[in-house]
Amino acid sequence: MAAKQFSVLPQHLGIIMDGNGRWAKQRGLARSEGHKQGSETFRKIGEYAGNLGIRYITFYAFSTENWNRPETEVNAIMNLFDSFLTEAIDRLDENIEKGIRLHFLGDKSGLPDELRSLMDFVEEQTKHCNKVHLNLAINYGGRQEILQAVRAIAKQVKLGNLNAEQIDEALIADHLYTAGQPDPDLIIRPSGELRLSNFLTYQSAYSEFWFSDVLWPDFTEEHLNQALSDYEKRHRRFGGI
Ligand code: FPP
């Protein structure tokens, strides 16, 4: 679809991909079919958002709490993630040419070794790209992210490299998985749920939100256009007047 023009775009867009299970249930399909369709929507919307000129895009794919789902469902999501990584490696030259840098946000140590080495490889190969930063949050939890930052900073204090007084908001931000990236300006959550669910907990302090009843597999470029034209009209005050 041709990219629409907006007077203001979010620099960083976050998307919570929700509603895959309900989409499948409505059609009498297995939940994994909803995730499969959801992963197609992820590709389509990621590409469209990049074409619009949004520089940082974060998709919430799998939370630290999602391990509580049935094993078959967890495996289905991991397989989709594996396919995405394989495809990203197959298309590495094309992605690099487009300037797409891939980042994975989350606790990699909790993921299968095979996936982890593919993730490390793709991150390393695209680390010089700077046009579009595509973040995929996988085994991600906002509280876990803050916890690991606190531990890393505490270690530095213990080693005597840092005083407690030197800890400021910027230093905390530098220890998050999104280090060096701007905070999300806009967070989209489809599927009718009105919550953040442990997504970008620290970074979303001043984010704008956009909710919709559409289920993620049905989310289209038009929905994103709608969210962005609503965002254009928002008056962001960051605590000022
Ligand atoms: C939430 O919907 C969705 C997830 C927990 C998984 C999202 C994963 C994908 C879209 C595929 C990941 C693959 C890649 C390539 C990133 P839900 O299952 O909670 O839906 P429900 O609330 O309707 O049950």
Note down pLDDT in tens along the chain; length 241 residues. 788 899 999 999 999 999 999 999 999 999 999 999 999 999 999 999 999 999 999 999 999 999 999 999 999 999 999 999 999 999 999 999 999 999 999 999 999 999 999 999 999 999 999 999 999 999 999 999 999 999 999 999 999 999 999 999 999 999 999 999 999 999 999 999 999 999 999 999 999 999 999 999 999 999 999 999 999 999 888 888 8
| Cα gap 181→110, rounded to integer Å | 24
* 12-141+183-231: CATH topology: Undecaprenyl pyrophosphate synthetase (3.40.1180)
pLDDT of residue 3: 87
Ordered by start, the domain boundaries in the chain are: 12-141+183-231
Nearest-CA residue for atom 8 of ligand 1: 61
Distance CA 109, CA 86 (A): 20
Per-residue DSSP letter, 42: H
Those residues whose C-beta lies under 8 Å from the C-beta of residue 14, and which sit 6 or more positions away, are 57, 58, 60, 184, 186, 187, 188, 199, 200, 204, 207
Instruction: List active site positions.
Output: 18, 66
Name the burial class of residue 127, with classes exposed (0-12), middle (13-18) and buried (19+) by CB atoms within 10 angstroms of its CB.
exposed
Kindly give the distance from the C-alpha atom of residue 105 to the centroid of ligand 1, in angstroms, as a whole number: 16
Q: Give strand ranges (E) for 95-198.
A: 100-105, 132-140, 186-189
Burial class of residue 237, CB neighbours in 10 A (0-12, 13-18, 19+): exposed
Pocket of ligand 1, beta carbon within 6 A? 17-22, 35, 38-39, 42, 61-62, 66, 77, 80-81, 84, 136, 191
